[in-house]
Structure 1
Amino acid sequence: MASSLSPSPSSLDQTLRDVDDYVLENGSEGLSRDTLHYVYELVKNGNVAFRENRMEEAINFYSRANNIKSGDPIILSNRSAAYIRISQYFMHRTPSSSERRPLSGLEPTTLAELGLKDAEKLVELQSNSAKSYLLKANAFLLENSPTLGLYLLDGELLSEGQLEKYEKARDVILSGLQVDPFSNSLRASLQNLESVSSSSRGMSTHGHPERNDDFDCTLCLKLLYEPVTTPCGHSFCCSCLFQSMDRGNKCPLCRTVLFISPRTCSISVTLKNIIQKNFPEEYAERKQEHDSLIKAGVDLLPLFVMDVVIPCQRFPLNIFEPRYRLMVRRIMEGNHRMGMAILDSTGSLAEFACEVEITECEPLPDGRFYIEIESRRRFRIIHSWDQDGYRVAEVEWIQDIMPPEGTSERDTLQQQTYNAVEDARSWIARAKEAARHDCCNTKLLEYHTDQRKLERLASVEVMMPSPKDPERFSFWLATLSNRRPAERLDLLRIRDTAERIRRGLIFLRQEEQGCRIQ
């Protein structure tokens, strides 16, 4: 939805219509005549670009001049005006203009912030100049692009946050009038700002805004939940926007190129508070609907269908499919857990699978996720269904059938586990020694392969659970060797810990001999 992007045309804008010419006689100590002449040419070229509405070129010329002669009032004044003008231009663009020339540089609010910094320096350098206060006031009004709000201005909604900007701009103008009480431009600006602020505040007492589609997300067509306002001025539910951006980094409405991600994009707090305050029941329903997607329940898991995983494994994944990007975002808002499953020979989900926890999640600039996972516990899929493109399953958690504590069978199992621990440690030591030996006697490519073997052995060794938990240890033992998916699936089905330990030791012997059990 489109936001109110700037104040109504006013005398505040008069100061942005032109820039000041540079005068060589205003030289600076320490700079040669040639250097000053070069600065003069840069500012002159910047002024030409400004007057021809080529603001990016103008900013470039002014910045180059500022690098040579920093703190010059004319350079700062002109660059501030250019930053503000280009920020206003981007905020006023129509959707058709956005398609012809997508925004690919700095955001309008960032440009306004840069203009504000220059204006603040200018106020410090020339506290008696009316123009410096006018530039600062203009920058204040543009620093945060407005969002929906309670107040109406010229038929458009104006936010409480934007009203605060008007108040700040008004305070700046008042400061300028204390220095130059006879400035006509400052007086006219103050009159304009006071009329805007008073009319908006007067209208705030007329009650709550009417519920209409201005408060709806144009993607899900429901009340905005956790709203995000894009640099091009459109607001969407946060989850809806990034679900749309999984298929392209453009605004769904005006197609402006967006350089935002869930990690860098913040919720529009003012808009959220306004909606929550005025439509509490509907917002609560939207929250409940959202929570049901990210908090599936104790026995419900979203599924990543790729491969068979057994407990006590750790490895990275690159999430690039749009459906799984959506799933990962929801998981990271919830308990960080999902199931990993595989399709069987018939093309259906295998009955047994494993829960994994996302321990690291790095959003990438192109929308992908780099995640690291650790496998936790196994389960049996009771039934599954599609939800927004990915699978969700109702599961039954599976554990081994263990002999009761204090029985001879339990003591035998525990002793078998301790023996297997010693065998596993000896196997790892021999495997490390063999890899180190190969590193010293192989070519470069094979050297890197053996280095990776050493790194893998170290990472697996770190994951070894306590031998006092025979079931988890039996799965860890199986991770030491590289097994086929069908073999790992059999390990998930087995509910006999002793049998799994026996198979794990056989796998190690076969791995050491360079072959596999068939």
Structure 2
Amino acid sequence: MALPQLVPSSPSGLSCKPSLNPSSSLSPNHGRISRSSSPQPQEPPRTKTLASLRRRKPNLLRCSASSFSEKHHTGSPKSDDLVELPLFPLPLVLFPGAILPLQIFEFRYRMMMHTLLQTDLRFGVIYSDSATGTAEVGCVGEVVKHERLVDDRFFLICKGQERFRVTNLVRTKPYLVAQVTWLEDRPSGDGQDDLEALANEVETHMKDVIRLSNRLNGKPEKEAQDLRRNLFPTPFSFFVGSTFEGAPREQQALLELEDTATRLKREKETLRNTLNYLTAASAVKDVFPSS
């Protein structure tokens, strides 16, 4: 199910269209990852950390629906674990539970894939662009399907797993490898009942946004059914963030948050602004049908 394009009317000028399907043909000029299953006990090398993401509000936000595990739970590794992970910088944000198709054809990343296919199939996806540099927080991508072509290219289907924070770069060639620690949401002051209520409000806003977007695009105004799909509030908050396709800096800010309630509240505000925009646009269309 793909959600229609939306445009929030917040000061940041967000716009939203639920569906997480990053381009299947990507050729980033950045590093990618490779993970060592048994981290070395020696002191980490004194290497510079990745530049912090400078958060700037996006001019456009799209929401689009992504595939999430119904019972995805975060935080399985201990947050103080220190591991080495191959990194794949991309101009997009991967969330836990989301599905990411990739095409690998650069030589260094083909090398990385040969290593991963013989080990644990996990690498780090981390947001990077020319304006903000490379973020410090990313998400592990696990290869769940792959196809190797005769010219040694790879088609991959990856699934988002744990979040991580980069602490040090171990090496930069032939691809990036970094030491990372795991990131998980901290216990919130909001009780479970409050989180459930908040998640339900976010789902309601998403349904309204889909309905109005369909109307503006001349599609039947069918009500979206069960967007939560039995997801608990934390994985649902990641699902909602993944739908804001087209606004990677906003998505990165959501990924970095360590509180489920805060993430849901921010998403609720974005969706509410989107709904206000669409309501106004729908009213204009009613008055000026040809515009």
Instruction: Specify if TM > 0.5.
Output: yes
Partners of 2:122 and 2:161 lie apart in 1 by 9
Q: Superposition pairs for residues 68-147 of structure 1, below 5 Å?
A: none
Residues 473-494 of structure 1 show CA distances to partners (whole Å, capped at 9, x for unaligned) of 1111122232422212211221
- The alpha-carbon distance between structure 1 residues 324 and 497, as it changes in their structure 2 partners (threshold 3 A), is same
Identity %: 28
Task: Determine if contact 1:294/1:333 at 8 Å carries over to the other structure.
Answer: no
Distance 1:435 1:479, change over 3 A: farther
Do the aligned partners of 2:104 and 2:155 also contact (CA within 8 Å) in 1?
yes
* 2:122 equivalent to 1:340: no
1:19-418 → structure 2 map (5 Å cutoff): 295=37, 297=39, 299-307=83-91, 308-343=93-128, 349-386=134-171, 388-403=173-188, 409-418=191-200
Provide the residue aligned with 1:491 in structure 2. Answer: 254
Instruction: Give TM-score, length-normalised by structure 2.
Output: 0.58
Q: Assess, with a 3 A threshold, how the Cα gap between structure 1 residues 478 and 360 changes in structure 2: closer, same or farther.
A: same
* 1:466 and 2:222 correspond: no
Quick check: 1:419 aligned with 2:201? yes
The change in CA–CA distance for 1:333 and 1:353 in structure 2 (over 3 A counts) is same
Structure-1 separation of matches of 2:207 and 2:120: 34
The superposition leaves residues 221-276 of structure 1 with CA deviations (integer Å, 9 ceiling, x where unpaired) of xxxxxxxxxxxxxxxxxxxxxxxxxxxxxxxxxxxxxxxxxxxxxxxxxxxxxxxx
Corresponding residue to 2:270 among 477, 493, 507: 507
TM-score, normalisation: structure 1: 0.34
Q: Which amino acid aligns with 1:306?
A: L
Q: Which residue of 2 aligns with 1:272?
A: none
For the 8 Å contact 1:362–1:371, the answer to whether it is kept is: yes
Q: Distance in 1 between matches of 2:131 and 2:205?
A: 38
Q: Secondary structure at the match of 1:437?
A: coil
Contact 1:417 1:501 in 2 (8 A): yes
Structure 2 CA distance for partners of 1:347 and 1:477, relative to 1, 3 Å: closer
Question: What is the CA deviation profile of residues 3-22 of structure 1, one whole-angstrom value per residue up to 9, with x for unaligned ones?
Answer: xxxxxxxxxxxxxxxxxxxx
SS at match of 2:249: helix
8 Å CA contact 2:127, 2:252 repeated in 1: no
Q: Is the 8 A contact 1:477 1:504 kept in 2?
A: yes
**Which position in structure 1 is the counterpart of 2:288?**
none
Contact residue 96 and residue 162 of structure 2 kept, 8 A: yes
The one-letter code sitting in structure 1 at the alignment partner of 2:113 is V
Instruction: Write the deviation string for residues 186-221 of structure 1: whole angstroms up to 9, x where unpaired.
Output: xxxxxxxxxxxxxxxxxxxxxxxxxxxxxxxxxxxx
CA offsets 1:364-409 (integer angstroms, 9 cap, x no match): 22111111122222111111122651111111111112237xxx63
> Could you tell me how far 1:511 is from its partner in structure 2?
4.2
Report the alpha carbon displacement of residue 507 of structure 1 after superposing the two structures with TM: 2.6
Q: Once superposed, what is the RMSD of the aligned Cα atoms?
A: 3.4
Deviation of 1:419 after TM superposition, in Å, equals 2.8
Deviation at 1:293, TM superposition (A): 7.3
- Which amino acid in structure 2 is aligned with residue 437 of structure 1? K
Equivalent residue pairs, number: 200
Which of the numbers 241, 249, 264 marks the counterpart of 1:478? 241
Residue 320 (structure 1) shift? 0.8
| Aligned partners of 1:402 and 1:410 also within 8 Å | no
Partner Cα distance (1:316, 1:437) in 2: 28
What is the CA–CA distance in structure 2 between the aligned matches of 1:347 and 1:509, rounded to whole Å?
Answer: 27
Could you say if the C-alpha distance between residues 465 and 333 of structure 1 is closer, same or farther in structure 2, counting changes exceeding 3 Å? farther
Does the C-alpha gap of structure 1 residues 505 and 369 become closer, same or farther in structure 2, counting only changes over 3 Å?
same
Q: CA deviation at 1:465?
A: 5.8
- The alpha-carbon deviation at position 332 of structure 1 amounts to 1.9
| Higher fraction of strand | 2
**Secondary structure of the corresponding residue to residue 474 of structure 1:** helix
Greater RCO, 1 or 2 (C-alpha within 8 Å, sep 6+): 2
Question: Structure 2 stretches of 5 or more lacking a match?
Answer: 1-33, 40-81, 279-291
Unaligned runs of 5+ residues in structure 1 are 1-291, 439-456
Name the CA shift for 1:348/1:416 in 2 (closer, same or farther; >3 Å): closer
Q: Do the aligned residues in 2 keep the contact of 1:357 with 1:376 (CA within 8 Å)?
A: yes
Q: Which has the larger radius of gyration?
A: 1
Q: 1:475 to 1:416 in 2, by over 3 A?
A: same
* SS of equivalent residue, structure 1 residue 351: strand
Q: Give the counterpart letter for 1:403 in structure 2.
A: S
Please say if residues 294 and 331 of structure 1, whose CA atoms lie closer than 8 Å, have aligned partners that are also in contact.
no
Aligned mates of 1:320, 1:511 — CA distance in 2 = 38
Q: CA deviation at 1:339?
A: 0.5
Q: 1:435 to 1:376 in 2, by over 3 A?
A: farther
Q: Tell me, in whole angstroms, the C-alpha distance in 1 between the residues paired with 2:157 and 2:274.
A: 26
Given that 2:198 and 2:265 are in contact with CA atoms closer than 8 Å, whether structure 1 keeps it comes out as: no
SS of the residue corresponding to residue 370 of structure 1 reads strand
Q: Is the 8 A contact 2:163 2:183 kept in 1?
A: yes
Please state which structure has a larger fraction of its residues in helix: 1
